[in-house]
Amino acid sequence: MTKWSNADTLSSWKKLMSLKGMVSVADELSGSGAADRIAKYSVPMGGGLTYNYAAKQVNEQILRTLAELADEQQLVQKYQELLDGAVINTGEKRMVLHQLTRGQLGKDVVADGVNKRDFYVNEVRRIAEFADKVHSGALLNEKGEKYTTVCQIGIGGSDLGPRAMYLALENWAKKNGTFKMNAHFISNVDPDDAAGVVKSLDISKTIFILVSKSGTTLETLTNENFVKDFIKKAGCDASRHMIAVTSETSPLAHNPDYMAAFYMDDYIGGRYSSTSGVGGAVLSLAFGPKVFQDFLDGAAQEDKLALNTDLLENPAMLDALIGVYERNVQGYPATAILPYSQALSRFPAHLQQLDMESNGKSVNRDGGALNYVTGPVIFGEPGTNGQHSFYQLLHQGTDVVPLQFIAFKENQSGEDVVIEGSTSQVKLCANVTAQIIAFACGKTDENPNKAFAGGRPSSLIYGQQLNPKSLGALLAHYENKVMFQGFVWNINSFDQEGVQLGKVLAKNVLSGKMEGALKAFAGLLIK
């Protein structure tokens, strides 16, 4: 049996706290042993990726202590319990089953009288069959025409993850002949969002995917009715242009207003739902079912690696524990996600929700107050755009911000040009290399304004090319990293009460059930 304990009660935690500031990254990477360190501090991931942490502020002693912490806090055992169907989400008294959408790594999990692995496999099959009918023309619109576009309506995890995954694979699919349909997304309840998207579409050839687990999400249902009004004005039948991704108990299920409904359940949080029907419907329609299956396979590879009890062979757990060291020992308040791939333009936004909604907690799994900090602030932008934006603070600001670079040797489109002796892709990769060393080693200068202290730690996840399998592995890596950090901190990474509060108060404003400051602020904005 596993034991759930606050981190600061562990002997390994107390040992770790004594190891602050032991390693100078500049010394490690500017000396003769740099090449050996870069080669040694590297671990294979799923999907053909590699996690390199040579520019992190760790050494053998710190890594041994982190391994002791992983063992004492029973991180892999807790992951195995999660896979076996334990009630890990204590806030909502639920199992946590998003890994089960892409593979069976634990015992058979039966919930609500259903084998959940069979349930998810069946939903992938149903989505694939529907997508094939759309692509082949077996399913047509009222005019007998093929659908050419898909548009997802959802918010939070129903938007951020699927949108990021779609953008990540769009150019790859076009190059590899698997691109089937353009995809668009509506999320914000701001009517300008929905209007701007819908007015750009040929509604008669568009399938709208309404994503709401409960079928009652206010922003999503508001946008649904907004879109239905446009559909009606276009002279189309909404029931021939809308499908739902929801739970089987929601009002959207088995509803004649939708062409089809695909199901998920309460055991998968929105921010963890990209490998369920929430991402599966839009990705299968946009790129074909095989691409979505390859995406799942890449995630499954990374999930399996996360069961390795050897810290140095478990990339997600290693990344997580180094992050704990940076947050709790070094005291760094934030982490920057820096993908040097335009295809990952929305990936940092997805990770922002994944990490901050999961680990932005100040009480433990049982509601007790914590005496240590938990999740960092997450932000980021694609390189090299970020270099011309916020890197000034990262290089010379008063706070040290750990960095996580993501890069690929090849681009997706195959298009490139040689300028001054090198291609654009080579220039992109050169920028990654230069930034890692610049952050680590800094630069001395007689002019203080031009001096760089260095000592800014970073990691690098890299591979040959961003494709469905490598994307799936990348996604699962971060999902598992967040999970392991939550286990270390003894918090529940799978509920989000901070999100629920705003929803409740907004409903109070709309219903008129408000007083005091809430009423006064509402008066400033609502007539």
Predicted pLDDT of residue 30? 87
Predicted pLDDT of residue 319? 99
Count of beta carbons in the 10 Å neighbourhood of residue 17: 15
Average pLDDT over residues 344-373: 98
How does 175-191 read in b/e, with b if 16+ C-beta sit within 10 Å?
Answer: eeebbbbebbbbbebee
Six token digits for residue 419: 């300028």
- Contact status, residue 449 vs residue 271, Cβ threshold 8 Å: no
CA dist 183 and 287 (Å) reads 10
Residue 29 CA, distance from chain mean position: 31
Query: Among this protein's residues, is 503 annotated catalytic?
Result: yes
**Whether pLDDT at 527 is above 80:** no
Average pLDDT over residues 116-137: 98
**Whether pLDDT at 440 is above 90:** yes
Name the residue type at position 183: A
CA dist 236 and 524 (Å) reads 39
- Contact status, residue 396 vs residue 373, Cβ threshold 8 Å: no
Q: Is 100 helix (H, G, I), strand (E, B) or coil?
A: helix
Predicted pLDDT of residue 513? 85
Residues in CB range of 224: below 8 A, 6 or more apart: 153, 208, 210, 242
Sheet holding 50-52, edge to edge: 42-44, 50-52, 458-463, 403-408, 334-340, 377-380
Give me the phi and psi of 243, to 5 degrees please.
Answer: -125, 165
Residues in CB range of 508: below 8 A, 6 or more apart: 514, 518
Residue % of the chain over a pLDDT of 90? 90
pLDDT tens profile 146-185 = 999 999 999 999 999 999 999 999 999 999 999 999 999 9
ω into residue 384 within 30 of 0, thus cis? yes
CA dist 199 and 192 (Å) reads 10
Nearest to 365 by CA among 498, 500, 487, 501: 487
Nearest to 352 by CA among 284, 312, 404: 404
Query: Among this protein's residues, is 388 annotated catalytic?
Result: yes
Average pLDDT over residues 454-463: 97
Average pLDDT over residues 420-436: 96
Residue 476, burial from CB neighbour count under 10 angstroms (0-12, 13-18, 19+): buried
pLDDT tens profile 383-401 = 999 999 999 999 999 999 9
CA dist 57 and 38 (Å) reads 13
Predicted pLDDT of residue 517? 81
Q: What is the 3-state secondary structure (H, E, C) of 286-322?
A: HHCHHHHHHHHHHHHHHHHHCCCCCHHHCHHHHHHHH
Residue % of the chain over a pLDDT of 70? 100
pLDDT tens profile 217-273 = 888 889 999 999 999 999 999 999 999 999 998 988 999 999 999 999 999 999 999
CA dist 343 and 338 (Å) reads 12
Torsional sign, CA 480, 481, 482, 484: positive
Q: Is 242 helix (H, G, I), strand (E, B) or coil?
A: strand
- Contact status, residue 292 vs residue 471, Cβ threshold 8 Å: no
How does 136-157 read in b/e, with b if 16+ C-beta sit within 10 Å?
Answer: eeebebeeeeebbbbbbbbbbb
Average pLDDT over residues 466-474: 98
Query: Among this protein's residues, is 515 annotated catalytic?
Result: no
Q: Which of the four pLDDT bands, split at 50, 70 and 90, describes residue 510?
A: confident
The continuous run of DSSP H or E covering 485 comes out as helix 468-489
Predicted pLDDT of residue 515? 81
Six token digits for residue 49: 């990726």
**Whether pLDDT at 521 is above 90:** no
- Whole-number mean pLDDT of the chain? 96
Q: Is 370 helix (H, G, I), strand (E, B) or coil?
A: coil
Beta-strand relationship, 261-264 and 334-340: unpaired
pLDDT tens profile 279-295 = 999 999 999 999 999 99
Predicted pLDDT of residue 470? 98
* CA 446 to each of CA 392, 443, 450, 451: distance values in angstroms, whole numbers, following the listed order: 19, 10, 8, 7
Helices and strands in the chain, H and E counts: 18, 15
Residues in CB range of 244: below 8 A, 6 or more apart: 209, 210, 211, 212, 215, 252, 253, 255, 258, 260, 261, 262
Sheet holding 206-211, edge to edge: 182-186, 149-153, 206-211, 242-247, 261-264
Average pLDDT over residues 78-85: 98
What percent helix, strand, coil does the chain show, rounded to 5? 50, 15, 35
CA dist 333 and 432 (Å) reads 23
Count of beta carbons in the 10 Å neighbourhood of residue 76: 21
* Residue 245 DSSP code: E
Predicted pLDDT of residue 238? 95
pLDDT tens profile 26-75 = 988 988 899 999 999 999 999 999 999 999 999 999 999 999 999 999 99
Average pLDDT over residues 136-140: 98
Q: Which of the four pLDDT bands, split at 50, 70 and 90, describes residue 526?
A: confident
The residue annotated as part of the active site, out of 388, 427, 443, 519, is 388
Residue 307, burial from CB neighbour count under 10 angstroms (0-12, 13-18, 19+): middle
Predicted pLDDT of residue 116? 98
Six token digits for residue 508: 């109070």
**Whether pLDDT at 88 is above 80:** yes
Name the residue type at position 295: F
Predicted pLDDT of residue 433? 96
Nearest to 153 by CA among 206, 100, 205, 90: 206
The residue annotated as part of the active site, out of 503, 507, 513, 519, is 503
